[in-house]
Structure formats: C-alpha cells, structure tokens
Amino acid sequence: MILNVSNLYKTYTRRGNEFNAVEDVEFFAWSGDFSVVIGESGSGKSTLLSLLAGINHPTKGTVIFNGFDFANLSDAEISAIRNDKIGYVPQESVFLPHFTVLENILLPRAIRDGKKIEAYGLADTTDIDIISKLETLGIAHLVNEMPAELSGGELKRASIVRALVNKPDIIIADEPTSNLDEANGKIVFDLLADLARSGTSVLVATHDPHGFKYGDRVYTMHKGRLLPSGESDYGGL
Amino acid sequence: MNKTDVNLIVENYLRNPFRSLGLSLLIALLASVLLVGGLLSLSLSKGLDRLSSRLGADVIVFPQGSEVDDQTILLQGDFKYAYLPQGSLEFIRGLDDVEVATPQYFLTSLSSSCCDQKVWIVGFDPSSDFVIQPWIREVFEDKLVKGTIVVGSEISVGEKKTVKFFDREYPVAAKLEPIGNGLDQAVFVDVATLADIRGAAKTKGVRFDSSSVGYSSILIKLRPDSDTERLSREIYAHFDGLQIFSRKDLFSGLEKPANVMQVVVWIVVAFFLVIAAAAIVISFSLSTRERKREYALLRILGSTRRRLKILVLGEALLVSAVGTYIGLLFSSVFFFTFKIWLGEHIDIPFIVPENAEIAAVYAVIILLLHLIGPVVVYGVANKVSEIDAYVALREVEH
C-alpha cells in the first residue's frame, strides 16, 4: 500500500468561524491504482490532495506513505519523499520564469541530485523516457522556450511531465486537464492511465467528465468529506 | 549549498539586474567609504603615533621670528632662518627641571645644479641628542661617521646611494621610516658633517645668515614631576626672542582635527550602512512577495525549508560580495592613486599603513560586508522558509 490515510481533518478559520476543509477522510492507494476525486469547487479536493502530497499539514489524522507516517518525519525526510516519490501537479501551473521549460521540467531531479539545473540536457532524460512523454503531450518542440512563451494548456502539460521526472510512486494531480481542450485532456488521461498500468499509483482531482471513466475508484468530495462514488448528492456521477 | 542552490541564486541575481546591481552598488559605496575611511583613519592614527614617538622631546624652544607655530613644527618641519640667542643652551641645561637639552641646526640646500634637490638639512649634536639618533638606530645600528648622512623616507637616493649638496657627494648611510610630516623630506647629519656642508656652500659662494653658527632649536627632556610652565617662565625671564612649545601644545592642535575627521568618516560609514541595510531588507521583502509562488513551487518539488533559507541568504551574500569587490576595486584605485596627494593636503601627519595592516583592513571589510546582506535579510529568509506552499499557491490563484 502506498497511501494509508485515516481520520484526516484539516480545519481553517474564516471570519472567526472554524470549518473543516477536510473532515474524517479515510483513503487508501495501492500501486497501479487510478483514483479519481470529483466534487464541486470549495469541496476540499485541493486541500485533501495537498495533505496527501505532504505539502500541507493535517489538523488531525494520519497520512502514512509507504509505511512512513508523515507526522513522524522531519522536514528533510518529507521533502525528500515529495521530491522523489510523489509527483504533484498543482492546480495552477507554476514555473521558474528565468529557466527554460526543459530546465523547469528537470528541476525535481536537480533538487534531488544537487546539480546545476542547466547541466541536464535533453539527452540526459532518456532514462526516464521524458522525451516520449513530451512528444505524447505535444510539447517536445517547446522545451527550450521560456515559460512565459507557453499557453496555459502547454504549461499544464509541462507540469505533468515535471511531476514524472523522478519516476514517483504516486502521481497526485489537481485538475490536470484544466486549460486543456477535450482532445488534449484525453491525451493526458491516457498517459496517466498508462502510468497506472505500469504500476504507478494515480490520484486525480477533476471536474472533467472524461476523467471519471479512467478511475478504478471514483470518490466524491462534498463539504470536506470523501465519499465513495454514488454516496453523494453531488450530481457529477 | 549545492550546485542547484548556486544555480538558483545566480539566476535570481541576474534575472533583475537593475535591482541586484543597485543593491550591490550601495554595498560598493559602503565598501568604498569603509576602505578609504578605514585606511585614512589608520593613516592618521599612525601618523600621530609615529610623530609623537619621534618627537622625543617634552619641550622645544625656537627663536622668535622663525615663523613657526605648533602646526608647522609638526607638519612641515619648516623652521626658516632664525637662531636662538647665545648662551640659551647652557642656561637651559642648568635649570633644575631639565634632564637633557640638545641643540639642532637647520639649513636648506639649493634646488640648483649644485644640489640634487632642495631639502632641509637637520644637524644634531651626537653627544647630547636623544631625538634623532633613536630614529636612526631603528634602521642603522652603526655610528654615523663624518661625511655620511641619513635621509628622510621621501628623499630620493640615486643608484650611487649619495646625495649631492653644493657639488659635494655625501654617502647615504640609511633611510628613515616615514614620519608623516615635512621631516620625511629632510636630511639628518651630525654637527661635523653639517660644518662640512657649510664649508662646501661657502666654496660655492653661498652665504648663510651671519648668525648661522647659532642653534635653530633646543629640544628638552624634562625630569619626572617637572613643571613646564615654571620652566617657560624661567627661560622667558632671561631671554627675549624665544618661543617655547610643550608636547601637549603641539599635539592638541593636531589631535582635534584628526579626531573630527575620524568622527566624520564613521558618521558617513554609519549613514551608508543604514541606507544599504534598509535598501536590502526592503528590496528582499518586496521580492519575496513577488516570488512567493516560486518558493512554493520549490517546496512542492522537494526543497526543504532550510534550502529556501539558503537561497535567500545566498542571494543576499551574492549581492554583498559583488558590491564589496566592486567597491574595494574602485576605492583601492582611488586611495592608492591619491594617497600622496591626500597626505600632502590633509594637514595632519599621515602615514600609509604597512601591507599587513592594509591586508587586515581589507579582510575585516570583506568579512563585515559579506555578512551584512545575510544578516539583514535573516528575518526575511526565516519567513520564506516558513512559507506555506499550499496557501501561497492558492493566495495567488484566487
């Protein structure tokens, strides 16, 4: 089991009132899983994904990754897991503006190895088949551009490739097909499905109706609670 | 700090060259002020210390009309042609407060074909001198034989190591360490050699003042617990045409401007220090806000909080280092090009420090200024390291 999440809460205070963005969530992910979380805006999907990716700290509950409880790990240990074992695709595409797209894509490996970012040429990436993924997603010709030159959809696809650079055990993608047209959205989901088939665990939060059919398990997030599909009054399914 | 950190730090520095160079130039200004101010201050202190130790005498007596004041005695060593009354040395030696009194004689050479250069010639009496011979012994331990001379640090000596006065060559036995006043351009001889120079002048038809056999000054070392005012009263009661200066009189007039100059230097340093520190803190705070998403991204991709802190501190270090070296380069060129001009135009004894002391000043400035950036942005770096990546991304998104 890659992820074992139990009794997870994340509480925020808004205008003096506490509310649970994530409430009593139980979740499991195994190698090769393709899990999809749907839910309306503000339901807590992004917060949940950030907690599972070790980016955010839960108010209560446990997140156990590959047998390691995040609560018992140091910042360096969690950072190493985030870098090497978790491929996180944030909802908003963020890039370092003064590095090329390729340098941005290879940034996780540079952080892991402590090497100069520019030292990684495209030729160095063959071991993780980055070139084919760039080609699959239709952005191989853009890798030497600066991020500002790319459209939102192109950046989104680049951020997906970036999440794959260190061959993570799990991909956690927050709205990976936002900014993408239907055809490119399908390509992204196909790629994620391929990854799941090759043993990588995939967890996706999406509004994209095409994404639902890729999930081995589909969950609905509603007011902070994660419910198996069919148990919500959310009309997405 | 690994290569990724260095790469990110350098890119961040270069990405906004106006901001980065602007901050570096402020540090450069600070470095310049610190270097010039530090070396100036050290030079003045050394000048005063050296002069004080070289003066040797507690009291100096000059003839009236020699147009000296306490400044010219110390700064120019310019005593004109005037001589003390006959019998004054013997009288002074007989006073209870006086331990030793020694005469000095001053001449000038000519800046004509007969002489290498126009210099002051200071003659001393080896049997009683307690001022000039200790200086000479610092660089020349043997006894000065008749006909040899000792020159001040700024006297140029040819390959033959002689100086020509009135068409007669005088071997240079030694060159003194700098003192920081006009005596650096003087030549020191014992009375026998002085008589020889007078003779050479006479054969060339140069006639000194008719009273030139008299003393130009008398230097007095007092007994312990003696009273300078009483001594002055006794001398003035017996002789007219004298001026008497105590060591305190001589130095109080110099220490004050030196101290004022040093205070001004440090006020300027403090001013630039505050301006540079404030500019760095403000600039880094603003820049951190702009780059919140980038720091959040680095966290998401696996950077530790410590690494984020290193990035901010590293960039501040780079800003400081670039500024420090630019500032030191330009101020070094300025100082070492104009040090002679500075020494001549600051009316305070001025001695450029030894190489080791200069190196120490550089080392202190480099250390201090490399630290300034990281120290003043430490709070900003802490904030960046505490950044909540998830919140930071969502703040911008929504």
Residue with the bigger pLDDT between B343 and B239: it is B239
Instruction: With CB atoms and an 8 Å threshold, state whether B303 touches A96.
Output: no
Structural domains counted in chain A:
1
Give the pLDDT band (50/70/90) at residue A82: very high
What is residue B85's predicted lDDT score, i.e. its pLDDT?
A: 81
Instruction: With CB atoms and an 8 Å threshold, state whether A92 touches B297.
Output: no
Q: Which of A46, A83, A96 sits opposite B294 (nearest CB)?
A: A96
Set of chain A residues whose Cβ sits within 8 Å of the Cβ of B304: 75-76, 79
| Coil, helix or strand at residue B30 | helix
Region B239-267 average pLDDT: 79
Give the pLDDT band (50/70/90) at residue B347: low
Set of chain A residues whose Cβ sits within 8 Å of the Cβ of B389: 50, 55-56
Confidence check: pLDDT of A78 > 90: yes
Q: To which residue do tokens 């990546």 refer?
A: B389
Quick check: is A133 in a domain? Answer: yes
What is residue B77's predicted lDDT score, i.e. its pLDDT?
A: 46
Range of the domain at A105: 3-228
The minimum CA-CA distance between B13 and chain A, rounded to whole Å, is 11
Instruction: With CB atoms and an 8 Å threshold, state whether B4 touches A92.
Output: no
User: In the 8-state DSSP scheme, what is residue B78?
Assistant: -
What is residue A41's predicted lDDT score, i.e. its pLDDT?
A: 86
8 A C-beta contact, residue B195 and residue B212:
no
Which has the minimum average pLDDT: A64-68, B83-87, B92-96, B206-210? B206-210
Instruction: With CB atoms and an 8 Å threshold, state whether B11 touches A110.
Output: no
What is residue A200's predicted lDDT score, i.e. its pLDDT?
A: 93
Set of chain B residues whose Cβ sits within 8 Å of the Cβ of A46: 390, 394
The candidate with the shortest Cα–Cα distance to A47, out of A19, A8, A10, is: A10
Which has the minimum average pLDDT: A24-33, B63-72, B86-95, B261-270? B63-72
Q: To which residue do tokens 């940034």 refer?
A: A107
The minimum CA-CA distance between A110 and chain B, rounded to whole Å, is 6
8 A C-beta contact, residue B319 and residue B18:
no
Distances, alpha carbon B339 to alpha carbons A115, B36, B161, B186, B361, in Å: 47, 10, 26, 20, 16
Interface probe with A: pick from B4, B12, B301, most Cβ of A within 10 Å: B301
String of DSSP letters for B132-165: HHHHHHHH--SPPPTT-EEE-TT----TT-EEEE
Instruction: With CB atoms and an 8 Å threshold, state whether B297 touches A96.
Output: yes
φ/ψ of B295, rounded to 5, equals: -65, -40
The minimum CA-CA distance between A82 and chain B, rounded to whole Å, is 5
Give the pLDDT band (50/70/90) at residue A11: very high
- Count CA atoms within 13 Å of residue B249 on its CB side: 17
Q: Which residues contact B310 (CB under 8 A, 6 or more apart)?
A: B1, B5
Confidence check: pLDDT of B368 > 60: yes
pTM: 0.71
Helix axes A182-197, A152-164, angle to 10 degrees: 0
Quick check: is A147 in a domain? Answer: yes
CB pairs under 8 A between A and B: 89
What is residue B114's predicted lDDT score, i.e. its pLDDT?
A: 53
Instruction: With CB atoms and an 8 Å threshold, state whether B304 touches A79.
Output: yes
The candidate with the shortest Cα–Cα distance to B396, out of B317, B272, B296, is: B296
Give the pLDDT band (50/70/90) at residue A169: very high
The minimum CA-CA distance between B344 and chain A, rounded to whole Å, is 52
Q: Which of B4, B302, B304 sits opposite A84 (nearest CB)?
A: B302
Per residue in B290-301, pLDDT tens? 888 889 999 999
Tokens of B310: 């290193």
Interface probe with B: pick from A51, A92, A156, A175, most Cβ of B within 10 Å: A92
Region A124-137 average pLDDT: 73
Instruction: With CB atoms and an 8 Å threshold, state whether A94 touches B297.
Output: yes
Confidence check: pLDDT of B266 > 70: yes
Per residue in B6-51, pLDDT tens? 888 888 888 788 888 888 998 898 899 889 888 888 888 887 777 7
Region A178-183 average pLDDT: 85
The candidate with the shortest Cα–Cα distance to B3, out of B310, B301, B304, B309, is: B310
Give the pLDDT band (50/70/90) at residue A119: low
CA distance A147 to A93: 10
The minimum CA-CA distance between A217 and chain B, rounded to whole Å, is 26
What is residue B398's predicted lDDT score, i.e. its pLDDT?
A: 47
Give the pLDDT band (50/70/90) at residue B112: low
Distances, alpha carbon B216 to alpha carbons A46, B58, B66, B104, in Å: 96, 17, 9, 6
Quick check: is A233 in a domain? Answer: no
What is residue A131's predicted lDDT score, i.e. its pLDDT?
A: 82
Sequence-ordered alpha helix ranges (H) in A14-145: 45-52, 75-84, 101-105, 107-113, 130-136
Identity of residue B383 = K
- Count CA atoms within 13 Å of residue B73 on its CB side: 27
8 A C-beta contact, residue B236 and residue B61:
no
CA distance B179 to B74: 10
Set of chain B residues whose Cβ sits within 8 Å of the Cβ of A99: 11
Helix axes B292-300, A75-84, angle to 10 degrees: 80
Confidence check: pLDDT of B233 > 80: yes
Element (H, E) at B97: none
Instruction: With CB atoms and an 8 Å threshold, state whether B306 touches A111.
Output: no
E-strand spans in B41-167? 59-63, 98-108, 120-124, 149-151, 162-165
Per residue in B286-339, pLDDT tens? 888 888 888 999 999 999 999 999 999 999 899 999 999 999 999 999 888 887
Among residues of chain A, what percentage have pLDDT more than 90? Answer: 50
Interface probe with A: pick from B11, B12, B294, B300, most Cβ of A within 10 Å: B300
The C-alpha torsion from A29 through A33 and A39 to A44, rounded to 10°, is 30
ipTM score assigned to the predicted complex: 0.90
Mean confidence (pLDDT) of chain B: 82
| Coil, helix or strand at residue A148 | helix
Tokens of B68: 């000296």
Q: What is the largest CA-CA distance in chain A?
A: 54
The minimum CA-CA distance between A148 and chain B, rounded to whole Å, is 14
The minimum CA-CA distance between B397 and chain A, rounded to whole Å, is 7
Residues of chain A that touch chain B, judged by Cβ-Cβ distance less than 8 Å = 46-47, 50, 53, 55-56, 75-76, 79-80, 82-84, 88, 90-92, 94-99, 107-108, 110-119, 162
The three-state DSSP-derived secondary structure of B191-203 is HHHHHHHHHHHHH
The minimum CA-CA distance between A85 and chain B, rounded to whole Å, is 10
In chain B, the N- to C-terminal Cα span, in Å, equals: 34
CATH code of the domain containing A87: 3.40.50.300
Instruction: With CB atoms and an 8 Å threshold, state whether B7 touches A110.
Output: yes
Region A201-210 average pLDDT: 89
B98 forms beta bridges with B222
Residues of chain B that touch chain A, judged by Cβ-Cβ distance less than 8 Å = 2-8, 11-12, 14-15, 293-294, 296-307, 388-390, 393-394, 396-397
Mean confidence (pLDDT) of chain A: 87
Confidence check: pLDDT of B268 > 60: yes
Set of chain B residues whose Cβ sits within 8 Å of the Cβ of A113: 4
Torsion sign over Cα A95, A98, A99, A101: positive
Region B369-396 average pLDDT: 86
The candidate with the shortest Cα–Cα distance to A160, out of A180, A182, A137, is: A137
What is residue A85's predicted lDDT score, i.e. its pLDDT?
A: 94
